[in-house]
């Protein structure tokens, strides 16, 4: 679809949210909660923290929540009866005010969950989400989107993208058919935009710090370079913070919770950073030490995903590094891999 450009007034943003609400769409947007910023359902514009760079957790929870029921069952004398959750019941949702790296993160998740057998729980929720991203006027030292093919005005994964171009005006890019359909519901708030608006003038300047192809090539060749992974991960304490805040981390676990009569099957986030992640029933753990788990994290994103799904599994949002309790900085570690002379 050819992209369309429109103008929306800042002063009409609250009307916009009202419109969404009156059509019955849940609106998920960044909300300030003390020091953290959560992506949550909002009722009005004043709840939304549009000035924050990034929410603490990514937007992935809209389609891949931390806990999700996929099945209910009853245990009866005659046998087990199953009541699967029907993905068709998911609601049309609007994701509002997320950043371009959140929107593009869904591309990786689409690739992962879109593999056979297709994951309807994710795909259906994703299909029913319309993503309105806000480009980034500022960035911080943890951001490196431009090094992994994204950028502060990257439109990949967004249905609509908003860019502030003056105190009063927002440039609206209509990018997909889904976006077009939604934009039609607030067409009265839009006016045509001049064709020659230079959006890049309104975006943060995020320097490219490494060549992603080089990093992919070197990571792929470094499986046996134990010294590299050990050196990078000595301070890693093996928690799940990095994976849980990451927009592209998709590992999960299933747990049944039941009593003698009935139960539910839950899908839960999991992380390759945990030692338990690979622990076998026998007691053997193929990833015995933390450096092997760190290697997995990097190789999954920069070797296995490029090879198998043709995407790099990292959007350069830097969330993992901001959230890491011991300051593991992925941008720094990837830069170091890119600079290795000998692999």
Partner 1 sequence: MSDLIKKVTALLNDKTINAFIGYEKGSADRIRATFIRNEDQAQKLILNASCTQNLAGYLLKHEVKKLGKLGILANVAALRSIMQLASEFQIKDGEVYVLFANADGSLTEFTDFKSIEAFLETTDTGIKSEEQEMIAKLEAMTVNERWLFWNKEFEKCIKCYACRAACPMCYCHRCTTDVNQPQWIPVASHELGNLDYHLMRAMHLAGRCVNCGECATACPMDIPLNLLTYQLISPIKATFGATAGMKADAVYALSTYKPDDKENFII
Task: Give the footprint of ligand SF4 on this chain (CB under 6 A).
Answer: 236-239, 241-242, 245-248, 273, 301, 314-320, 324-326, 328, 330
> Contact at 8 Å (CB) between 166 and 100?
no
- Interatomic CA distance for residues 70 and 249, integer angstroms: 20
Shortest spacing between CB 239 and partner 1, in angstroms = 4
Instruction: Quote the least distance from Cβ 290 to partner 1, whole Å.
Output: 6
Alpha-carbon distance of 319 to 54, in angstroms, equals 8
The Cα–Cα gap between 143 and 78 comes to 57
User: Is residue 66 close enough to count as binding partner 1 by CB under 8 A?
Assistant: yes
> Should residue 195 be labelled a site residue for partner 1 when binding is judged by CB under 8 A?
no
Q: How far is the CB of 330 from partner 1 (least distance, A)?
A: 10
Q: What is the spatial distance between Cα 163 and Cα 168, in angstroms, rounded to a whole number?
A: 11
Binding test (CB under 8 A) with partner 1, winner from 3, 14, 36, 76: 36
Choice between 87 and 238, CB closer to ligand SF4: 238
- By CB under 8 A, is residue 321 in contact with partner 1? yes
SS3 content of the chain, % helix, strand, coil (to 5): 35, 20, 40
Q: Are 206 and 143 in contact (CB under 8 A)?
A: yes
CB atoms within 10 A of CB 87: 16
In eight-state DSSP terms, residue 117 is: S
Question: Which of 275, 276, 295, 168 has its CA nearest to residue 219?
Answer: 295
Query: Which of 2, 35, 116, 167: binder of partner 1 (CB under 8 A)?
Result: 35
Nearer to ligand SF4, 42 or 330 (CB): 330
> Where on the chain is the footprint of partner 1 (CB under 8 A)?
33-36, 38, 56-57, 66-67, 140-142, 230, 233-235, 237-241, 243-245, 253, 255, 257, 266, 268-269, 271, 274, 276, 289-291, 321, 323, 325-327, 329, 332
């Amino acid at each position: 679809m050819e992209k369309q450009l429109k103008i929306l007034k800042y002063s009409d943003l609250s009307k916009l949210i009202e419109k969404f609400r009156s059509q019955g769409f849940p609106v998920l947007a960044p909300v300030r909660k003390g020091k953290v910023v959560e992506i949550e359902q909002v009722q009005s514009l004043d709840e939304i923290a549009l000035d924050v760079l990034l929410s603490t957790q990514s937007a992935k929870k809209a389609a891949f929540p931390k806990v999700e029921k996929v099945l209910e069952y009853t245990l009866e004398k005659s046998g087990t009866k199953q009541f699967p959750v029907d993905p068709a019941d998911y609601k049309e949702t609007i994701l509002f005010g997320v950043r371009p790296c959140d929107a593009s993160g869904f591309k990786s998740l689409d690739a992962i969950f879109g593999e056979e057998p297709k994951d309807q729980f994710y795909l259906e929720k994703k299909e029913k989400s319309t993503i309105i991203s806000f480009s980034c006027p500022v960035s911080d030292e943890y951001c490196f989107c431009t090094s992994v093919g994204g950028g502060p005005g990257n439109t990949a994964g967004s249905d609509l993208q908003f860019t502030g171009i003056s105190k009063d005006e927002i440039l609206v890019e209509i990018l997909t058919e889904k976006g077009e359909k939604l934009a039609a519901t607030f067409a009265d708030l839009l006016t045509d935009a001049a064709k020659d608006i230079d959006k890049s003038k309104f975006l943060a300047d995020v320097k490219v710090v490494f060549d992603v192809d080089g990093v992919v090539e070197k990571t792929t060749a470094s499986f046996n370079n134990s010294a590299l992974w050990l050196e990078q991960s000595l301070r890693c304490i093996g928690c799940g913070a990095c994976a849980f805040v990451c927009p592209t981390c998709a590992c999960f676990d299933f747990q049944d919770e039941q009593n003698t009569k009935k139960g539910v099957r839950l899908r839960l986030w999991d992380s390759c950073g945990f030692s338990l992640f690979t622990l076998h029933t026998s007691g053997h753990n193929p990833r015995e030490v933390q450096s092997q788990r760190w290697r997995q994290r990097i190789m999954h994103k920069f070797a296995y995903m490029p090879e198998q799904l043709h995407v790099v599994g990292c959007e350069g949002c830097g969330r993992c590094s901001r959230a890491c309790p011991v300051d593991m900085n992925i941008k720094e570690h990837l830069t170091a891999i890119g600079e290795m002379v000998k692999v």
